Amino acid sequence: MYFKCDIEKITVDQLAICIGVETLYREQSMPCALLSLDPMTFDIKPHFSERMRERLLRDRVCLVLEGYEASIEEGNRLVVSSKKADKPVKRRAKRGSQGNTDLLGSETPEIS
């Protein structure tokens, strides 16, 4: 892997992304070059067609790196970012116990 950017403050997560993406490049016998840390941007050599770039690199990032997705920008740059949730998760407060007064009332036999 080649680092063509300042990696002085690289984090463990970013390094894991680099290793994951490098495996995809290595499968295609391509050198992997990191161009930027924010956003994580990798160079794609121009000898791949657009469809091959999508199928061999972009679409496979989510398989190698769970929770991440990739896009191809400017034709020859692979940008990796974390997935955003499709729908925001709303938390609801738990309702307090209402007791079992309804059940007790229906189970109690009538006394005559």
- Which pLDDT score, from 0 to 100, does residue 43 have? 93
Torsional sign, CA 1, 44, 16, 64:
negative
Mean local confidence (pLDDT), 11-18 = 94
Q: Which residues contact 15 (CB under 8 A, 6 or more apart)?
A: none
Q: Confidence class of residue 49 from pLDDT cuts 50, 70 and 90?
A: confident
Average pLDDT, the chain: 84
- Write out the two tokens for 9: 């403050």
Per-residue pLDDT at 108 exceeds 80: no
Per-residue pLDDT at 33 exceeds 80: yes
Q: Confidence class of residue 84 from pLDDT cuts 50, 70 and 90?
A: confident
